[in-house]
Amino acid sequence: MTGSKSTTPEPLAPPPKTPDQSQSKKTRKRNRSELETSPTRKRPKTQNRAASSEICAETNTPGLQLTYEEYHRQRDEILSAIIFDLNHVAATQKACREGAPDKITKLSYQSQKTYAALVVERAATRISGCEDKFNPDYREREAHRLEMVAKKLGWRMLAICAYAESFRRLCREEEDRWLWGCVYTKIRDFAYNIELQACLHALDWRSLLLPYWKEGSLPGLKKEALGSKKKLAELASTRPHDIVIDPVKKTFRNPVYKNRIQRDVDASTFDPSDWVAEQKGDPRDPTLRENDAKFTWYGSCDLCASPGVCSCRLKRSPSDYVQLVEAGTKGVGVRALANFKAGDILGEFVGKIMPPNYRDDNVYALEVQPKTWQRIDGSIALISPKEYGNWTRYLNHSCDAHTVFDARTVGDRVIMTVEARKDIAIFEEITVNYGNGYWTTRTCRCGAENCVEEVKKEKERKRREKEAAQRMIEEEEKEKNKKKKKSKKQPS
Ligand SMILES: C[S@@+](CC[C@H](N)C(=O)[O-])C[C@H]1O[C@@H](n2cnc3c(N)ncnc32)[C@H](O)[C@@H]1O
Domain encompassing residue 162: 19-238
CA of 143 to the centre of ligand 1 (A): 45
More confident residue, 17 or 359: 359
Q: Tell me: do 234 and 285 sit in the same domain.
A: no
From the CA of 363, give the closest atom in ligand 1: 27
- Using the 8-state DSSP alphabet, how is residue 419 labeled? E
Q: Distances from the Cα of 176 to the Cαs of 170, 180, 183, in angstroms?
A: 10, 6, 11
Strand ranges in 278-402 using DSSP code E only, listed in sequence order = 322-326, 332-336, 345-348, 352-354, 366-368, 381-384, 388-389, 396-397
- Using the 8-state DSSP alphabet, how is residue 343 labeled? T
Cross-strand bridge partners of residue 424: 340
The confidence score (pLDDT) of residue 329 equals: 93
Q: Tell me: do 433 and 336 sit in the same domain.
A: yes
Q: What are phi and psi of 130, to 5 degrees?
A: -95, 20
CA of 384 to the centre of ligand 1 (A): 15
Q: What is the pLDDT of residues 142-180, one digit of tens each?
A: 888 999 999 999 999 999 999 999 999 999 888 888 899
Return the amino acid letter for 390.
Answer: N
Q: Whose CA is nearest to atom 19 of ligand 1?
A: 446
Q: Tell me: do 201 and 122 sit in the same domain.
A: yes
Percent of the chain with pLDDT over 70: 81
Whether 13 is in a domain gets the answer no
List own/partner pairs for 219-226 with CB under 8 A and 24 or more apart: 219/127, 219/128, 219/151, 220/127, 220/150, 220/151, 220/154, 220/155, 221/155, 225/154, 225/155, 225/156, 226/156
Q: Are strands 269-270 and 322-326 parallel, antiparallel or unpaired?
A: unpaired
Helix, strand, coil shares of the chain, percent, nearest 5, are: 45, 15, 40
User: Which one of 256, 330, 350, 434 would you pick to mutate in the ligand 1 pocket, going by the greatest count of ligand atoms within 8 A of its CB?
Assistant: 330
Q: Tell me: do 199 and 280 sit in the same domain.
A: no
Q: What is the pLDDT of residues 90-138, one digit of tens each?
A: 999 988 888 777 888 889 889 999 999 999 988 888 877 665 555 545 4
Q: Tell me: do 393 and 265 sit in the same domain.
A: yes
Whether 304 is in a domain gets the answer yes
Q: Tell me: do 368 and 430 sit in the same domain.
A: yes
Ramachandran area for residue 316 (φ above 0: left; ψ -120 to 50: alpha; else beta)? alpha
Q: Tell me: do 108 and 27 sit in the same domain.
A: yes
Whether 335 is in a domain gets the answer yes
Whether 457 is in a domain gets the answer no
Q: Tell me: do 166 and 266 sit in the same domain.
A: no
**CA–CA separation, 440 and 461 (whole Å):** 16
Q: Tell me: do 157 and 28 sit in the same domain.
A: yes
**CA–CA separation, 109 and 163 (whole Å):** 10
**CA–CA separation, 179 and 160 (whole Å):** 21
- Whether the CA torsion 334, 339, 345, 346 is positive or negative: it is negative
- Count CB neighbours of 21 within 10 A: 8
CA of 331 to the centre of ligand 1 (A): 6
Most confident among 27-36, 302-311, 392-401, 435-444 (mean pLDDT): 392-401
Residues 6+ apart with CB under 8 A from 67: 18, 19, 52, 55, 56, 59, 61
Residues 6+ apart with CB under 8 A from 113: 163, 204, 207, 208
Whether 312 is in a domain gets the answer yes
Whether 486 is in a domain gets the answer no
Give the CATH number of the domain where residue 426 resides: 2.170.270.10
Task: Say how many domains are in the chain.
Answer: 2
- For 311, half-sphere exposure in the C-beta direction (CA atoms, 13 angstrom radius) is 0
Whether 6 is in a domain gets the answer no
Q: Tell me: do 207 and 271 sit in the same domain.
A: no
Strand, coil or helix: what is 72? helix
Whether 121 is in a domain gets the answer yes
- Using the 8-state DSSP alphabet, how is residue 331 labeled? -
Q: What is the pLDDT of residues 185-224, one digit of tens each?
A: 999 999 999 999 999 999 999 999 988 877 667 777 877 7
Q: Tell me: do 225 and 266 sit in the same domain.
A: no
Q: Which residues line ligand 1 (CB under 6 A)?
A: 1, 330-333, 363-364, 393-394, 396-397, 444-446
CA of 451 to the centre of ligand 1 (A): 15
Q: Tell me: do 37 and 125 sit in the same domain.
A: yes
More confident residue, 351 or 108: 351
ipTM of the complex in this document = 0.99
Cβ–Cβ under 8 Å, residues 353 and 381 = yes
Q: What is the pLDDT of residues 250-296, one digit of tens each?
A: 999 999 999 999 999 999 999 999 988 877 777 888 888 776 545 55
From the CA of 262, give the closest atom in ligand 1: 9
